[in-house]
Amino acid sequence: MKCKFELKYGKFKECTKCSIELPISKFGIANSKKDQLRGDCKDCRKTTSKQWYESNKESRLMSVKKWRENNKNKVYENVKKWQEDNPDKVSEYQKKYYYNNLDKMAKKRFRRRKEAVPSWLTEEHKKEIKIIYDTCRSISLLEDKKFHVDHIIPIKGKNVSGLHVPWNLQIISATENLIKSNKS
């Protein structure tokens, strides 16, 4: 269906900003106008909007921040819905974040493991843990294959959380551990 302007004036219009005659497809819609098209072309509008944003960046960011603070539930719901609708993108982002922040992730794992060590753990228990980790390293070198020390009951499980104690540790292949992926 042709717009009113095309039917009345043809397929071209002159931009009020750059004064270039352009196809009407290069103009945005403005229902309030007689011809239902904006006076400025899309390129000029884009440039103007970009300039306005750059000159009002701080106030715009403050306005967005204020809106987000006043609408936390709405923001949370929108983010949650987007994550549910886009699991592949979420997974890709998480993987990218993990590999770009390996040092941060290692610290997080260390902190989580440290928090899972009970205060009643004896020095003998701590030595057993060290032996398990040393054994894992030795097996990895001997077998020329990666092995991991795995928590039988995950330290941070969905339903239950285990402790970092000798009887909750096992040595398994890296492949098996990565497939397991904290599903308990």
Tell me the three-class secondary structure of 87-146, residue by residue.
HHHHHHHHHHHHHHCHHHHHHHHHHHHHHCCCCCCCHHHHHHHHHHHHHHHHHHHHHCCC
Q: Which residue segment(s) compose the domain that 161 sits in? A: 118-180
Model confidence at 70: pLDDT above 70: yes
* Cβ–Cβ under 8 Å, residues 156 and 112: yes
What are the tens digits of pLDDT across the range 148-179? 999 999 888 778 888 999 999 999 999 898 88
65 and 30 housed in the same domain: no
| Residue 3: per-residue pLDDT | 52
25 and 40 housed in the same domain: yes
| Residue 135: per-residue pLDDT | 95
Mean pLDDT of 95-119: 88
46 and 70 housed in the same domain: no
Query: pLDDT confidence of 20, banded at 50, 70, 90?
Result: very high
48 and 64 housed in the same domain: no
Tokens, residue 61: 């960011």
Task: Give the residue carrying structure tokens 């097996």.
Answer: 139
33 and 62 housed in the same domain: no
Mean pLDDT of 119-134: 94
Q: Give, rounded to a whole angstrom, the gap between the first and last alpha carbons of the chain.
A: 58
16 and 34 housed in the same domain: yes
Query: pLDDT confidence of 111, banded at 50, 70, 90?
Result: confident
What are the tens digits of pLDDT across the range 78-100? 999 999 999 999 999 999 999 99
145 and 176 housed in the same domain: yes
134 and 165 housed in the same domain: yes
Q: Provide the number of structural domains found in the chain.
A: 3
42 and 68 housed in the same domain: no
132 and 80 housed in the same domain: no
Whether 94 maps to a domain, the answer reads no
3-state secondary structure of 44: helix
